């Protein structure tokens, strides 16, 4: 089924009614959309705390977010992006902002790796908290990720100089605008982390409304769970939407070109890779028949290894096209090279929230409605001072295992009087049809009371720390009430009791489980318990990056590399010592072997992924089933070779938070409406009894949801520790 999406035009702000300060500082030739001006006004208002900009992708939400800071440097901005790559891209954008607005804003991008390098260059900083304080003092705009913001607010950076509350207080002092970009890509644990931090910053900022922080969320698809948390929080919220038309006019500027969108239902014997092989002529024709600027394209798939195979196949079959790759197996150097040089890039979800670049061809699959809209939103963007492509076309592929999604989308379009060959508007009709077509999955709301509330308790406990001598007692009391209301709790006191049980158990040598559970709760995206260093020799030159050992084991015939050849190869790849130090900084949390990072050497990836079965030693079902607990003794049972045996010696020593149940993955997905890519593993005990395993943050999410099947209350059910 092929349809044609209409071009999209965004309503311009009335130039005669711009706020005086904005009108005076606006660079010559700049035209602001109505939503950009509304966002600026909302962020400058003393009557609002939270602004949600839901304008379409490509309609200038980023510029709108930073307008108050560009016009008034005293309004420092802390920008948070889901990937470090996006933060770096925004840093490059700030050069343009400073030039256009004749501004002298000081800004920098910041990641864990960058912070480690900064400390290595500045030995006067013994701990990360002091280094962060210095960086904030020197930069009016900090472009980072929500993980680092979370660690800063939640007292996770230790210091020999600063008290437990001083680093969060400095965040509040230096920055007045906190910008969460692409927040729809996150799930309930991250939303709880955000709302608890927001209330904390507001409560500790003081009574002066001008000093209160402002929070901006840029998201084309706002989340219902987060919207509910905001309503319950008492924060003053305004949602700003873009105003769009499908026809041009003096009061509009174009933001999206018209496109051809073809929906393909794959046959039972066909996967995406085979479809591409069968439709190479379609790809080649897009270039051979093009007029005007040379086309560029993207193929987005759900599997990193499948993306690697497709990229290799296209390189062999389409000699006249330069093929690039952008996945979790691609280092930053190759990603940037692909963005600069490639005609066609094959990637995964890293492209969804990666650097913006112009394309004319899009071939994609999507696990859910949000991914469909995000990926399709990559196509047809109107870019300043760029000649448009002659043709924009997209091909959405639907898996044969879920044929009802294609049927649902076709029906949703027909219900809206859209048949094959018809035109459709993107902002409303197509969006609504896509949202209706994909199945609804759980929002993990039970996690909020079960585990998320412990994060709120952690912040209160920090304010009530005896070393502060009651100086923050009033704020702590205020937050007790706000968190109880926001998280819809029976009693914040009960949550604090559970938190202190975990905290006290954390200090008991015999109770490492308490510490592990609390650490998992207080992490932002959750732990990655089986991360190893991947030495990927299938590329030229070799790639070195951190990756999940379980994924590598089921997709390649791996070898465990010794320290000496690894460091020799790393030195050959990165001659600069500072660059090598930065690389090793990335591997500081990887599994270790003989005191060195565990390195998995791969010469080739298999054409088909092997079935992965894990094994656990000394498992006691009567004690360990259906609980979030600390597990050890996990290893790989299948696929297995001599090298896997060596890998298992390392894996067995690793302590991981897990949840094990007798229920099969298919039953769990059906009953609990789990997302299609929710990570579940098959695991067997020493008696070859098969169970289902979730690890890390997924274990906490699954445990909270599964309480419903046992008719237990997520807030009061005991935590085994």
173 and 307 share one domain: no
Could you list the beta-strand ranges (E) of 464-526: none
Residue 208 has pLDDT above 70, yes or no: no
177 and 296 share one domain: no
pLDDT in tens, 670-716: 999 999 889 999 999 999 999 999 999 999 999 999 998 889 999 98
Identify the band that residue 510 occupies on the pLDDT scale cut at 50, 70 and 90: low
Angle at 172 between CA 523 and CA 496, to 5 degrees: 45
Residue 605 has pLDDT above 60, yes or no: yes
Task: Name the domain count of the chain.
Answer: 2
Pairwise CA distance, residues 389 & 374, whole Å? 21
Domain end position, chosen among 437, 470, 494: 437
pLDDT in tens, 481-504: 999 999 999 999 999 999 998 888
Token pair for 36:
């950009």
Beta-carbon contacts of 131 under 8 Å, excluding residues fewer than 6 positions away, are 115, 118, 119, 122, 125
Q: Tell me the CATH number at 110.
A: 3.40.50.300
Pairwise CA distance, residues 402 & 65, whole Å? 39
Burial of 527 (0-12, 13-18, 19+ CB in 10 A): middle
pLDDT in tens, 441-472: 999 999 999 999 999 999 999 999 998 889 99
224 and 335 share one domain: no
Pairwise CA distance, residues 243 & 416, whole Å? 21
Cis peptide before 458 (omega within 30 of 0): no
Identify the band that residue 507 occupies on the pLDDT scale cut at 50, 70 and 90: low
In a domain, 463, yes or no: no
25 and 157 share one domain: yes
Tell which residue, 582, 596, 588, 575, has the closest CA to residue 121.
582
Pairwise CA distance, residues 718 & 721, whole Å? 9
Domain end position, chosen among 437, 453, 479: 437
Identify the band that residue 388 occupies on the pLDDT scale cut at 50, 70 and 90: very high
In a domain, 388, yes or no: yes
Token pair for 574:
């990165």
Q: Where are the alpha helices (DSSP H) in 181-289?
A: 188-205, 224-233, 272-278, 280-288
8 Å CB contact between 675 and 367: yes
Pairwise CA distance, residues 234 & 110, whole Å? 31
Pairwise CA distance, residues 292 & 390, whole Å? 6
Pairwise CA distance, residues 583 & 567, whole Å? 11
204 and 123 share one domain: yes
Identify the band that residue 563 occupies on the pLDDT scale cut at 50, 70 and 90: very high
Q: What number of residues does the chain have?
A: 721
232 and 341 share one domain: no
206 and 355 share one domain: no
In a domain, 679, yes or no: no
Q: Supply the pLDDT for residue 669.
A: 94
In a domain, 65, yes or no: yes
Pairwise CA distance, residues 380 & 621, whole Å? 54
321 and 421 share one domain: yes
Pairwise CA distance, residues 417 & 257, whole Å? 22
193 and 261 share one domain: no
- The pTM of the full predicted model, rounded to 2 decimals, is 0.94
Token pair for 699:
């274990």
Identify the band that residue 506 occupies on the pLDDT scale cut at 50, 70 and 90: low
Mean of the pLDDT values across residues 159-176?
92
Domain end position, chosen among 243, 274, 302: 243
Pairing of strands 8-11, 50-53: unpaired
Identify the band that residue 424 occupies on the pLDDT scale cut at 50, 70 and 90: very high
Which residues are bridge partners to 298 per DSSP?
345, 362
SS (H, E, C) 8-50: EEEEECCHHHCCHHHHHHCCCCCCCEHHHHHHHHHHHCCCCCE
Q: Supply the pLDDT for residue 656.
A: 96
Identify the band that residue 370 occupies on the pLDDT scale cut at 50, 70 and 90: confident
- SS3 state of residue 682: strand
Burial 172-189 (b: 16+ CB within 10 A, else e): bebbbbbbbbbbbbbbbb
In a domain, 525, yes or no: no
Mean of the pLDDT values across residues 269-292?
93
Residue 396 has pLDDT above 90, yes or no: yes
In a domain, 92, yes or no: yes
State the average pLDDT for the chain.
93
Token pair for 384:
């300043």
8 Å CB contact between 33 and 11: yes
54 and 169 share one domain: yes
Torsion over CA: 484, 696, 330, 388 (sign): negative
Identify the band that residue 508 occupies on the pLDDT scale cut at 50, 70 and 90: low
Could you list the beta-strand ranges (E) of 145-241: 177-181, 214-218, 237-240
Tell which residue, 162, 181, 149, 219, has the closest CA to residue 82.
181
Pairwise CA distance, residues 637 & 644, whole Å? 9
Pairwise CA distance, residues 195 & 191, whole Å? 6
Phi, psi of 432 (to 5 degrees): -65, -35
- SS3 state of residue 419: coil
Cis peptide before 541 (omega within 30 of 0): yes
Q: How many of the other CB atoms lie within 10 Å of CB of 676?
A: 15
Q: Supply the pLDDT for residue 117.
A: 83
Pairwise CA distance, residues 524 & 146, whole Å? 8
Mean of the pLDDT values across residues 262-285?
94
- SS3 state of residue 396: strand
In a domain, 553, yes or no: no
Q: Supply the pLDDT for residue 211.
A: 80
Residue 577 has pLDDT above 80, yes or no: yes
148 and 268 share one domain: no
Pairwise CA distance, residues 709 & 246, whole Å? 48
In a domain, 315, yes or no: yes
Identify the band that residue 609 occupies on the pLDDT scale cut at 50, 70 and 90: confident
pLDDT in tens, 82-114: 988 888 888 988 999 999 998 999 999 999 888
pLDDT in tens, 121-151: 888 888 899 999 999 999 999 999 999 999 9
Q: Which H or E run includes 683?
A: strand 681-684
8 Å CB contact between 504 and 492: no
Q: Supply the pLDDT for residue 380.
A: 94
Identify the band that residue 509 occupies on the pLDDT scale cut at 50, 70 and 90: low
Q: Supply the pLDDT for residue 583.
A: 86
8 Å CB contact between 516 and 657: yes
Which residues are bridge partners to 260 per DSSP?
4, 393
87 and 231 share one domain: yes
Burial of 386 (0-12, 13-18, 19+ CB in 10 A): exposed
Beta-carbon contacts of 193 under 8 Å, excluding residues fewer than 6 positions away, are 146, 150, 154, 452, 455, 524
DSSP 101: T
Q: How many of the other CB atoms lie within 10 Å of CB of 660?
A: 23
Pairwise CA distance, residues 26 & 100, whole Å? 8
Give residue 156's domain range.
Answer: 11-243
8 Å CB contact between 203 and 478: yes
pLDDT in tens, 72-81: 999 999 999 9
């Amino acid at each position: 089924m092929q349809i044609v999406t209409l071009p999209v035009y965004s309503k311009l702000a009335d130039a005669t009614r711009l706020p005086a300060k904005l009108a005076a500082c606006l660079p010559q030739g700049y035209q602001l959309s109505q939503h950009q001006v509304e966002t600026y006004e909302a962020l400058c208002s003393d009557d609002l705390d939270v602004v949600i900009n839901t304008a379409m992708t490509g309609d200038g939400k980023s510029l709108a977010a930073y307008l108050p800071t560009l016009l008034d440097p005293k309004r420092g901005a802390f920008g948070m992006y889901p990937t470090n790559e996006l933060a770096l891209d925004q840093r490059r954008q700030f050069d343009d902002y400073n030039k256009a607005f004749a501004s002298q804003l000081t800004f920098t991008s910041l990641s864990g790796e960058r912070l480690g390098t900064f400390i290595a260059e500045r030995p006067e900083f013994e701990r990360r908290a002091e280094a962060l304080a210095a960086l904030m003092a020197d930069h009016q705009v900090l472009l980072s990720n929500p993980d680092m913001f979370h660690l800063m607010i939640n007292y996770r950076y230790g210091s020999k100089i600063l008290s437990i509350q001083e680093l969060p207080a400095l965040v509040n002092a230096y920055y007045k605008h906190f910008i969460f970009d692409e927040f729809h890509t996150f799930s309930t644990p991250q939303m709880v982390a955000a709302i608890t931090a927001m209330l904390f910053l507001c409560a500790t900022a003081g009574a002066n409304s001008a000093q209160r922080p402002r929070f901006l969320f840029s998201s084309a698809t706002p989340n219902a769970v987060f919207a509910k948390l905001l309503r319950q929080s008492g924060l003053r919220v305004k949602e700003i939407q873009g105003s769009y038309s499908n026809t041009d006019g003096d009061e509009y500027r174009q933001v999206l070109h018209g496109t051809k969108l073809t929906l393909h239902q794959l046959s039972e014997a066909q996967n995406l890779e085979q479809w591409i092989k069968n439709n190479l002529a379609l790809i080649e024709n897009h270039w051979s028949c093009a007029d005007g600027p040379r086309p560029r394209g993207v193929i987005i798939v759900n599997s990193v290894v499948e993306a690697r195979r497709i990229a290799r196949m296209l390189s062999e079959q389409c000699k006249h096209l330069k093929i690039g790759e952008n996945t979790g197996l691609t280092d930053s150097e190759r990603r940037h090279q692909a963005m600069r040089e490639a005609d066609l890039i094959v990637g995964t979800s890293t492209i969804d929230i990666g650097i913006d670049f112009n394309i004319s061809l899009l071939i994609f699959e999507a696990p859910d409605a949000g991914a469909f809209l995000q990926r399709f939103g990559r196509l047809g963007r109107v870019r300043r001072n760029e000649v448009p492509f002659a043709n924009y076309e997209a091909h959405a592929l639907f898996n044969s295992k879920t044929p009802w999604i294609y049927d649902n989308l076709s029906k949703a379009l027909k219900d809206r009087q859209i048949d094959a060959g018809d035109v459709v508007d993107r902002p409303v009709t197509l969006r609504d049809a896509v949202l209706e077509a994909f199945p609804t999955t759980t929002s993990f709301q039970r996690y909020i009371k079960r585990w998320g509330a412990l994060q709120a308790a952690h912040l209160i406990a920090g304010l009530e720390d005896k070393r502060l001598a009651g100086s923050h007692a009033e704020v702590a009391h205020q937050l007790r009430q706000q968190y109880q209301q926001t998280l819809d709790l029976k009693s914040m006191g009960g949550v604090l009791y559970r938190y202190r049980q975990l905290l006290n158990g954390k200090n008991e040598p015999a109770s490492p489980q308490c510490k592990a559970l609390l650490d998992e709760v207080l992490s932002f995206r959750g732990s990655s318990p089986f991360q190893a260093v991947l030495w990927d020799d299938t590329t030229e030159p070799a790639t070195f990056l951190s990756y999940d050992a379980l994924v590598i084991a089921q997709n390649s015939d791996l070898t465990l590399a010794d320290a000496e050849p690894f460091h020799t190869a790393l030195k050959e790849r990165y001659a600069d010592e500072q660059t090598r130090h930065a690389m090793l900084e990335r591997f500081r949390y990887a599994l270790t072997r003989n005191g060195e990072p565990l390195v998995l050497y791969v010469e080739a990836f298999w054409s088909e992924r092997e079935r992965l079965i894990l094994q656990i030693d000394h498992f006691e079902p009567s004690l360990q089933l259906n609980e979030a607990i600390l597990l050890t003794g996990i290893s790989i049972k299948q696929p297995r070779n001599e090298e896997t045996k060596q890998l298992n010696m390392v894996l067995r020593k690793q302590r991981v938070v897990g949840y094990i149940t007798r229920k099969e993955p298919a039953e769990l997905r059906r009953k609990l409406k789990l997302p299609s890519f929710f990570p579940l593993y098959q695991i067997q005990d020493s008696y070859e009894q098969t169970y289902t395993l979730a690890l890390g943050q997924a274990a906490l999410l699954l445990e909270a949801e599964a309480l419903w099947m046992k008719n237990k209350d997520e807030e009061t059910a005991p935590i085994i520790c």
